[in-house]
Every structure is written in C-alpha cells, then in structure tokens.
Structure 1
Amino acid sequence: MTEYERARTMQALPEQVFEQVGDVARLDAWLPADLHVQEEELPAVTVHEDRTGEDASALFRAEADQQRVEWGTRENGSYAGWLQVSGIGSGASEVTIHLSFFEKSHDPGEAVVHTALDRSLERLEEQVRSTANGRDGSR
C-alpha cells in the first residue's frame, strides 16, 4: 500500500470549506481536471477519468458533523481517500487530503499524486474564495 498526504491553510471558516467539499455537484470545481464525479444514489457515485476514458464505481460519504469526506472504489477496493477540514482560529481552516493506493498498479507515482493534490487544494481554495466573495458582495 502507498499513501500520500498534503495539507493547505485557507482563510475561510471550516463550514465554508466543507460546503464545497461535501457537495458532490461541486467536486468537479476542485478535483483534478481529468476526473468527473456523477452522483448516483449516495453514497454510490461513478468517477470518469478523461485520461483513460474509463468509468469506475465508487463511494462518497460526507460527514458534516466531522467536517470530513471519504471516498474509494466500490468493486475492487484499489483506492481510497479522505479530506478533513479543521478550524485553526481567526477564521482560517486547515484542509488535509489523504490518498491510499492498495494496488501498486493503480498508483501513478509520488510526483504525479503530489502535483494533483497540490493543484486540487489550490482549486478548492479558489472555489471557496469565489463563493465567499459572492456572498459578501466583494470582488
């Protein structure tokens, strides 16, 4: 098994961040650009990967009381992940994302995963910021 983890501090309340990550309809806004999630009957989802053209049956659970989402493949159990939002005071949050690859053949490698995680956290921060700006009217 191979595991990867990245974290990022965001200037937003944990509830604002979780509002973005816990909503299946908003996942495409911050996930890697080549992944697309289609909601079925939750927790069931289908993940389409542009690079391979394949669809994978997956699970997605959002636990608002814990400010945590978890996901993973349904049928073959080759991949799982979680994202945790934690308040760190002064209106800021730390967002930690963790991936586990249970089969070596599904692990794209450290450089690829770290780049994808960093970019996803950047995109999430941009999404949270743009949503917050839309709420308060500032730009």
Structure 2
Amino acid sequence: MTEYERSRTMSAQPEHVFDQAADVGQLDTWLPEALHVEAGDLPAVTVHEDRTDEDTSALLRARREQMRLEWGTRDQGGYTGWLQVAGLGGDVSEVTVHLSFFDDSHDPGEKAVRDALDTSLQRLEERVRLRVGHEGG
C-alpha cells in the first residue's frame, strides 16, 4: 500500500471550505483535471480517468458534521481517500487530502500524485476565494 498526504491553509471558515469541496456537481472545478466525477445514486459515483480512459465505480460520502469527504473504488478496492477541513481559528482553515493506493496499477507515482494534490488544493482554494468573496460583496 502506498499513501500520500498534502495540506493547504485557506482564508475562509471551515464550513465554507467544506461546502465548496463537497459540492458534487462542482467536483471537476477542483479535482485533478484528469478525473471527472458523475454522481449516480449517492453515495455511488462513476469516476472517469483520462490517463487510462476508464470509468471506475466509486463511493463518495460527505460527512458535514465531521467536515470530511471520503471516497474509494467500489468493486476492486484499488484506492481510497479522504479530505478533512479543520478550523484554525477566525477565518482560517486547513484542508488535508489523503490517498491510499492498495493496487499499484492505480498509483500513477509519487511525483504525479503530489503534483495533482497540490494543484487540486490550489484550485479548491481559488474556488473558495471566489465564492466567499462573491457572497461577501
């Protein structure tokens, strides 16, 4: 099993960050550009990966009371992940994303995963900034 984890601090209340991260219809705005999520009968989703041009059955659960998203493959158990939002006081939050690959064929490699996680967190931060800024003015 291979695991990766990245964190980023964002200038927004944790509830705002979580709401943007958990919006199933807007996941493509912050997930890695090579992944596309189509919601089925939640928690069931289908994930299309451009790298392999394959669709994978997955589960996605949002636990707002815990400020946590959890996901993973349904049938083959190749990977799981979670996103956790924590308030750091005031209007500052920390977002942590963790991925676990149980099957090496799903793991695109350390550099690719870390770059994708960093880019995803940056894209989420931009989405939060635009949305919170829009709500505030």
1:133 positional shift = 1.3
Q: Distance in 2 between matches of 1:113 and 1:14?
A: 25
**Partner residue, 2:82:** 82
**Identical amino acids, percent of aligned pairs:** 64
**Partner residue, 1:91:** 91
Divergent runs of 4+, >6 A: none
Normalised TM-score (structure 1): 0.96
**Partner residue, 1:48:** 48
Normalised TM-score (structure 2): 0.98
1:82-119 Cα distance to aligned partner (Å, 9 max, x none): 00000000210000000000011211111110000000
Structure 1 gap segments, 5+ residues each: none
1:48-87 Cα distance to aligned partner (Å, 9 max, x none): 1122221100000000000000000000001000000000
Q: Work out whether 1:103 is the aligned partner of 2:103.
A: yes
Structure 2 gap segments, 5+ residues each: none
**Partner residue, 1:13:** 13
**Partner residue, 1:112:** 112
Q: Distance in 2 between matches of 1:29 and 1:79?
A: 21
- Secondary structure of residue in 1 paired with 2:27: helix
Q: Distance in 2 between matches of 1:91 and 1:34?
A: 31
